[in-house]
Amino acid sequence: MKSLGLYVHIPFCKSRCLYCDFISSKLTDDSALKLYSQKVRDEIDILGEQGLFDNHQLDTIYFGGGTPSLLKIDYFRTILESKFLNRRYSLKEFTIEANPGSIDYDTIIALKKYGLNRVSIGVQSLNDKSLNAIGRIHDKDKAIEAIKLAIKAGVEVSVDLMLGIPYQTKEDIKFFIDTVVDLGVNHISMYMLSLEEGTALTKLVEEGKLEVASDDEKVELLDYASSLLKEKGLYRYEVSNFARKGKEAIHNTKYWRLEDYIGVGVGSHSLVDNKRFYNPDNFEDYYACINRKELAHIKEEDLTESDVEEEYIMLAFRLSDGINLVDYKNKFGIDFDEKYKNQINKYNKFLNINNNNISIKEEYLSVMNSIVVDFLS
């Protein structure tokens, strides 16, 4: 049986961070979360009745957002007790994303009964001036408290760190890494700030009211952070992700390995048997589909073999393991090193090559796009 990941999107936040353009709306009333969790459960039931979970073994669950930590335990239960999830539990990993401003100890403990073993906390920075400038609802102390709380609850903790935000220095990054690793964090995701169109931060930067790092400076910060983490025993297993061996994110690795996952909720998407499905990105259309007891798939894409190959190469090169030659041959029926021998020669000094894998050397991962583009023909 093929393994399957379940992604549940929770599109609510207490307030919008100035840089963010994720699908999420400001939570004004708890009843909106209650209704939403019922609809998500209904969506899972519809998917189950239409056989989308058949021939698959659900082994990872990921609640992302938005802010999943806003959900009360009863709302998590509403979703998790769908009959289609209940009988398929054999979880290797169950993660929820949490904002330090809304994490709750008792909820984590209660979720452990459903298999929760990981919390991904959006810390972003431990410099109060930076946190304030990007519109976070928490300060440094609250973020540290959140990490301690999750570790005390006995789950693995991952934290997000943003690079290139206002007022950030190299010392801040060192302080961040020293602090979180000493607290027991075994996984860090690092995101270079992206100035998204229409966000408040982009406007402030365009008006010259706030300064952010340039692209080159961000790459330098990422490489600096990467070297600090290496000294602490966390290796770069993906362009933006660092972990101790054995603590890599299993669910997210499915995305990078083009394995099957089902996304439920507003704005989510799925990949099942080389088909991609997209849900509506607004509540109205999403609820309308669910109320009609229909799949909430507004768009369906049948990936051709060449689409799959292109995505496979693009994503696999993000990983420190890179292209697995046997897996590639099994999937596409040809030898990767034969088909791409010219490119492999051209980029030889940037690549690790052995009998099993071809990957981009760790020190070049930050600039991988300029290499990978030549493999996409």
Ligand X SMILES: C[S@@+](CC[C@H](N)C(=O)[O-])C[C@H]1O[C@@H](n2cnc3c(N)ncnc32)[C@H](O)[C@@H]1O
Q: Is 19 in the site for ligand X (CB under 6 A)?
A: yes
SS3 for 106? helix
- How would DSSP label each residue in 58-87? EEEEEEEES-GGGS-HHHHHHHHT-HHHHT
**Residue 16 interacting partner from ligand X, ligand SF4, none (CB closer than 5 to 8 Å by kind):** ligand SF4
Give the pair of three-digit tokens for residue 30.
């708890």
Single residue of 37, 60, 67, 240 touching ligand SF4 by CB under 6 A: 67
Q: How far is the CB of 355 from ligand X (least distance, A)?
A: 37
The 8-class DSSP code of residue 362 comes to G
> Between 78 and 117, how does the x/- string for binding to ligand X read (CB under 6 A)?
-------------------x-x------------------
Q: Is the dihedral of CA 74, 79, 81, 86 positive or negative?
A: negative
Q: How far is the CB of 298 from ligand X (least distance, A)?
A: 22
Single residue of 4, 44, 66, 319 touching ligand SF4 by CB under 6 A: 66
Q: Which is nearer to ligand SF4, 20 or 73 (CB)?
A: 20
**How far apart are alpha carbons 123 and 159 in whole angstroms?**
6
Q: Is 17 in the site for ligand SF4 (CB under 6 A)?
A: yes
Q: How far is the CB of 97 from ligand X (least distance, A)?
A: 4
Q: Which stretch binds ligand X (CB under 6 A): 63-71, 225-233, 258-266, 366-374?
A: 63-71
Single residue of 6, 153, 157, 162 touching ligand X by CB under 6 A: 162
First to last CA, the chain: 33
Single residue of 16, 20, 232, 281 touching ligand X by CB under 6 A: 20
Q: How far is the CB of 97 from ligand SF4 (least distance, A)?
A: 8
**Which residue do the tokens 């583009």 mark?**
373
How many residues interact with ligand X (rule CB under 6 A)?
17
Taking the mean position of all CA atoms in its chain, how far away is CA 349?
Answer: 30
Residue 125 in contact with residue 161, Cβ under 8 Å? yes
Give the pair of three-digit tokens for residue 306.
């060449």
Q: Is 255 in the site for ligand X (CB under 6 A)?
A: no
How many residues interact with ligand SF4 (rule CB under 6 A)?
11
**Residue 196 interacting partner from ligand X, ligand SF4, none (CB closer than 5 to 8 Å by kind):** ligand X
Q: How far is the CB of 238 from ligand SF4 (least distance, A)?
A: 20
Q: Is 64 in the site for ligand X (CB under 6 A)?
A: yes
The 8-class DSSP code of residue 154 comes to T
Radius of gyration of the CA atoms of the chain, in A? 21
Q: How far is CA 206 from CA 192, 199, 200, 202, 320, in A?
A: 18, 11, 10, 6, 36
Q: How far is the CB of 67 from ligand SF4 (least distance, A)?
A: 5
Q: Is 65 in the site for ligand SF4 (CB under 6 A)?
A: yes
Q: Which is nearer to ligand SF4, 267 or 322 (CB)?
A: 267
Is the bond into 66 cis (omega within 30 degrees of 0)? Answer: yes
Q: Considering only CA atoms, which of 98, 78, 80, 100 is closest in space to residue 88?
A: 80
| Residue with nearest beta carbon to ligand X | 122
The 8-class DSSP code of residue 363 comes to G
**Which residue do the tokens 């220095």 mark?**
169
Q: Is 200 in the site for ligand X (CB under 6 A)?
A: no
Q: How far is the CB of 57 from ligand SF4 (least distance, A)?
A: 30
Q: Is 122 in the site for ligand SF4 (CB under 6 A)?
A: yes
> Between 75 and 104, how does the x/- string for binding to ligand SF4 read (CB under 6 A)?
------------------------x-----
- How would DSSP label each residue in 135-152? T-S--HHHHHHHHHHHHH
SS3 for 6? strand
Q: Which residues here bind ligand X, judged by CB under 6 A?
A: 19-20, 22, 64-67, 97, 99, 122, 124, 160, 162, 191, 193-194, 196
